[in-house]
Amino acid sequence: MLPRGPLGRLSRIDPKTAGNARPTCWQLSFCTISGMVRTFDIVVIGGGHAGAAAAWAAGRMGCRVALVTLSAGGIAQMSCNPAIGGVGKGQIVREIDALGGLMGLAADATGIQFRMLNRSKGPAVWGPRCQSDRHAYAAFVQAALAQTPNLEILEGEATDIIADSGHVSGVKIIRSRGGGAMDASGQEELTLGCRAVIVTAGTFLRGLMHCGEKIWPGGRYDEPAAGALSLSLENLGVKLSRLKTGTCPRIASESIDYSRCQRQDGDDVPLPFSYLTERLELEQTPCYLTATNAEVHRIIRENLHRAPMFTGQIQAAGPRYCPSLETKIDRFADKDSHPIFIEPEGRSTNWVYLNGVSTSLPPDVQERIVHGIVGLENARVLRWGYAIEYDFAQPTQLHPTLDAKAVAGLYLAGQINGTTGYEEAAAQGLLAGINAALALRGQEGVILRRDQGYIGVMIDDLVTRGVLEPYRMFTSRAEHRLLLRSDNADRRLTELGRQIGLVDERRWEVFSRKQAVMQEAGGLMSGIRLENKTLRQRLAQPEVTLEALMQSLRDLAAQDGQAPPAAESENQAARWAKVQRLLELYREQPTALEGLAIDYRYAGYVEKELVEAARMAELEAKRIPRELDYAGVLHLRAEARERLSEIRPATLAQALRVSGVTPADITILMIHMQQAREGSA
Ligand SMILES: Cc1cc2nc3c(=O)[nH]c(=O)nc-3n(C[C@H](O)[C@H](O)[C@H](O)COP(=O)(O)OP(=O)(O)OC[C@H]3O[C@@H](n4cnc5c(N)ncnc54)[C@H](O)[C@@H]3O)c2cc1C
């Protein structure tokens, strides 16, 4: 039971019990606002995946944080598919974890099936994914936030962001319960003073739901929309546009004929997301595979005149890479079947998610579609699929630190920035939380480079290019895929997480030990070369390939306790000693040695990418002053001037990525900045 505070349902944590807290080291300078006022350093609006990540980060970095959300029980809810990770997304989860975020730990603790996707391809595109127990996932995150130092959770609707002299200074919220004076409608208004606001309102801003001909306002199924905040953002100068997304029907597990579907099991050895999870011990739940067919396609085609996506009822753009079933049937008319994944929503629920049947067709048509699919002939639908249109802010209105150009101290993260997906949202929330906390400390914000992480790629894409449709991560978006592997996110980001104060002692110890193991194993491996088939032959020969060495280590590790073959010469004995030590290290840290082996295998390519990345890093290090007046840059082409004034890139490298800007423009800009520096020296 959470302790109750003066506002009713609050979670206030005793800082003494909050293991990883850093002390708050600044004072809140807040001017008084009339009405009931409470003061915080940061107010996070929204308790979805972005808001939870932001609040977790900022609280652990020592800020006093209020997380305002419509329903505390809805924190970290999975609005759509009950799964975390996947190709591109799984890498993001590992990066969040490496920086000290929560998502990987939550996914490990509550996953019911784990698979490494793309295993048959190169390690650069392996994507860890798990099927989650969606209720357990949300409960895990809620419990973790309840333990987060300096964090209070307030149930209510944020209606207005207050700004003074171009800087945010507070948030007005409306609550329907709790202490304080009630107005006539039984609601109370409360003002929260703060120096930074992080808006993570997801699909709730002026959300409009569609199911067939039926349209109603809402933020998510059975949840209200939040309109007032849209107006407030617009008043602050943030321009809003519209996007659309949709979800699938849910059906009752006991009504499915699984014998007619293809069973899909998890990996034999499930691999965790978090670098802190040593191993996963769980009973994995199977998923099942079925497919649409010609009859289902006929039903859909005959009813396109009732599909909001086709009648003009839905105006906004949806995710092209995750289209509704009706869009797939229309767009890929030559295909007579599309796969449907039958995914359980948890261990103790009969709700099952029909991945691949995202639709906003009317319920009577949805029912015919479901019953037309093999294995689902008698399926009972528990909730119809629907689509939602919502406000989002074109992310080119943000700096790469995710704060708005229109008003200081305002950060936006998650679906409100035009992205889709829990992982994309959580990553932005984490960075927004980190950057808001750093700004309050008076420190420079974190901008991850494109060669440092998928998170860097995503944020750079968003703030430099903007979005035309909901943005989701793919490995193809990253030009340095071999550097951004799911196995090495800790090597890329944990030191940074430590510097900013988000990586705690335990994570740091685990990371440091792994580094030490890799270093020692690296030395041993480079002295051994293997090549033959049987274990004895493989290890006894002077020439041995890396693959053979790794296979030998895996075999030896699996045959726990087996004595090594006897050495027949002094040289062999020396090699055996090395192999024995490698085996000890492998048993302790298998992922460290597997990662090392990938490094060796792709060393040539990795080197090339590093050279390329280093070249770009030089431009990345050249900061452009935020206030630079592009109208005053002599000889800059009109198009470049216009685009650069709009995007206001943070670095010369980002400027080069702005569409319409050429390398020649960058040279002119460099000369201008150089002259400005010399002039002011
Ligand atoms: C119908 C639907 C289908 C989707 N389909 C997919 C999909 O196929 N694939 C995929 O990857 N992702 C999908 N998503 C998207 C995925 O759910 C989101 O990308 C992700 O949840 C976004 O996280 P977020 O934190 O930005 O927002 P959300 O998870 O939406 O959370 C927003 C939070 O803000 C709170 N809030 C909003 N306004 C206010 C306010 N004024 N005051 C206080 N609290 C407020 C809400 O209560 C909520 O807790 C779908 C979402 C929906 C709704």
Positive or negative CA dihedral for 125, 128, 132, 134?
negative
Residues in the chain: 681
Ligand 1: atom nearest CA of 71 is 47
Query: What gap in Å lies between CA 319 and CA 471, rounded to an integer?
Result: 7
Tokens 């329903």 correspond to what residue?
A: 71
**Cβ of 201 below 6 Å from ligand 1:** yes
Ligand 1, pocket-test mutation among 80, 176, 198, 240, most atoms within 8 A of CB? 80
Give pLDDT tens digits for 339-396. Answer: 999 999 999 999 999 999 999 999 999 999 999 999 999 999 999 999 999 999 999 9
- Give 24's pLDDT tier (boundaries 50, 70, 90): very low
Nearest CA to ligand 1 atom 34: 46
**Residue 278 Cα to chain centre, angstroms:** 22
Quickly state the pLDDT bin for 1 (edges 50, 70, 90). very low
Give the position of tokens 């019953």: 371
Q: Tell which residue, 249, 269, 268, 470, has the closest CA to residue 372.
A: 249
DSSP conformation class of 206? T
Single-letter amino acid code for the residue at 456: G
pLDDT at res. 590: 87
Asked if pLDDT for residue 543 goes beyond 60, the answer is no
| Between 26 and 572, the higher pLDDT residue | 572
Verify whether ligand 1 is closer than 6 Å to residue 243 (CB atom): no
Q: Cα separation of 527 and 574, whole Å?
A: 11
Paired tokens of 325:
């079933």
**Helix 505-526 with 570-588: angle, nearest 10 deg:** 160
The encoded tokens of residue 390 equal: 């919502």
In angstroms, the first-to-last Cα distance of the chain is 61
Give the position, in ligand 1's atom list, of the atom nearest the Cα of 390. 53
366 touches ligand 1 (CB under 6 Å)? no
Count the helix, strand and coil residues of the chain and give each as a percent rounded to the nearest 5. 40, 20, 40
Q: Residue 37: CB partners within 8 Å, gap ≥ 6? A: 170, 191, 192, 193
For atom 12 of ligand 1, the residue with the nearest CA is 421
pLDDT digits (tens, 9 = 90+) for 235-245: 999 999 999 99
- Going 589 to 590 to 595 to 599, the CA torsion angle's sign is positive
Residue 158 in contact with ligand 1 by CB distance below 6 A: yes
Please provide residue 190's backbone torsions phi and psi, each rounded to the nearest 5 degrees: -135, 140
Q: What gap in Å lies between CA 462 and CA 460, rounded to an integer?
A: 5
pLDDT of the residue at 34: 42
Task: Provide the token pair at 628.
Answer: 């630079």
Q: Which of 187, 200, 222 to mutate to test the pocket of ligand 1 (most atoms within 8 A of CB)?
A: 200
**CB 248, CB 357: distance < 8 Å:** yes
Ligand 1 site, residue 105, Cβ cutoff 6 A: no
369 Cβ below 6 A of ligand 1: no
Q: For residue range 105-159, what is the model confidence (pLDDT) as tens digits?
A: 999 999 999 999 998 888 888 999 999 999 999 999 999 999 999 999 999 999 9
- Asked if 557 and 587 count as a contact pair (C-beta separation under 8 A), the reply is yes
> Which domains does the chain show, CATH number per domain?
247-391 (2.40.30.260), 505-601 (no CATH), 622-680 (1.10.150.570)
Q: How far is the CA of 80 from the centre of ligand 1 (A)?
A: 9
Does any ligand 1 atom lie closer than 6 A to the CB of residue 388? yes
Listed in order, strand segments (DSSP E) in 501-604 are none
Residue 672 in contact with residue 634, Cβ under 8 Å? yes
Give the span between the Cα atoms of 455 and 89, in whole angstroms: 10
How many Cα atoms are found within 13 Å in the side-chain-facing hemisphere of 165?
2
